[in-house]
Amino acid sequence: MSAVCLRTEQLRKHYGGLRAVDGVDLEVRQGERRAIIGPNGAGKTTLFHLLSGEVPATAGRILLFGQDITHLPSYRRTALGIGRTYQVTNLFPRLTVLENALLAAFGLRREKYDPFRAAWQHRQALEDARRLLEEFGLWEKRDWPIGSLSYGEQRQLEIVLALAGRPRLLLLDEPTAGLSPAETQVVTRLVAGLDPQITVLLIEHDMDVAFQVAQRVTVLHFGRVLAEGTVDEVRGNPEVQAIYLGVGEL
């Protein structure tokens, strides 16, 4: 069996009395595609913030390939192989598509400190940016400002930025939110076609997408793991059905 990529132990995030993430134990193996689902306010995005280091944990531990990263700042976690996208598009709006991709390509390179040579003269970073933009069909629009891209293209650029650092663990926060059905299909295929070595954690509201991409599903509810299993197991779980059909609501 493949190595454990990510493990959390009793991970918690409390905001005063609100327990956004309330003792989550996760174990995700390398190369696994895991969907995180759950109703609004279940703590899915907060869990991602904890994993990426953008929000400090109240308690618990996070292990990436066995290394404790609980207290590392987010840029150190990126260097260790975590990449993420955001639920609300988080790009560099006044820069061009290529500049966005270049920033991502420089992120883990020492050349990011170079104050003298022009950015586009750094062949390797430029090559990385070009390869990813071509793969996502954005190279033709490299000189466009972000605001001129369609929303679907912006969502794809989100994934480009996250992939530029060659992550071992990719956190995708609702990559298809707000997309048209056709665009959703494009992004779903992209995610399904990612390098199988990359471990993917995916927050998704669209059950069809989640079930297409992921082998296993974790259901969060009020900050806790309500159920975890294969797609079919979770589908058949009466508690999960109750939450999503609104029967067992508090």
Partner 1 sequence: MGLRWLGWAVVAAVALALPQVLPLYFTHLVLLTMIYGLSAMSLDLLAGYTGLTSFGHAAYFGAAAYTVGILTTQHRVPPALAFPAGVAAAAALAAVYGLLATRAVGVYFLIITLALGMGTWGLAYRWSSVTGGDNGLPGIPPLELGLPWSTSDPKHLYYLILVIFCLAAFLLYRLVRSPFGLSLRGIRESEGRMRMLGYNTWLHRYVAFVVAGTFAGLAGSLYAFYNRFVSPPDLHIAASAEAVLMVILGGAGTLFGPLVGAGIVVFLRNLVSAYTHRWMLILGVVFVLTVMYAPQGVAGGARALWARWRGRAVTPPVAGPGKEPVAER
Segment contacting partner 1 by CB under 8 A, of 9-17, 110-118, 191-199, 213-221: 110-118
H-type helices in the chain, by residue range? 44-52, 74-79, 97-106, 123-135, 151-163, 181-192, 207-213, 231-236, 238-245
Segment contacting partner 1 by CB under 8 A, of 9-17, 101-109, 227-235, 237-245: 101-109
Segment contacting partner 1 by CB under 8 A, of 2-10, 160-168, 193-201, 224-232: 160-168
Contact 200, 34 (CB under 8 A): yes
How far is residue 36's CA from residue 229's CA, in Å, rounded to a whole number?
A: 11
Q: How far is CA 107 from CA 39, 131, 191, in A?
A: 34, 16, 22
- Angle (CA) 172-185-133 rounded to 5° is 65
Q: Is 102 in the site for partner 1 (CB under 8 A)?
A: yes
Site residues for partner 1, 1-30, by CB under 8 A, read none
Q: Is 205 in the site for partner 1 (CB under 8 A)?
A: yes
Q: Which two tokens stand for residue 6?
A: 């990510």
Using CB under 8 A, pick the residue from 24, 103, 132, 198 that binds partner 1. 103
Would you say 93 or 196 has its CB closer to partner 1?
93
Cβ 209 to partner 1 shortest distance, Å: 12
Cβ 51 to partner 1 shortest distance, Å: 11
Contact 58, 37 (CB under 8 A): no
Site residues for partner 1 per CB under 8 A: 40, 52, 54, 73-75, 78-79, 83-84, 86-95, 99, 102-104, 106-108, 111-119, 122, 125, 141, 144-145, 147-151, 161, 164-165, 177-178, 205
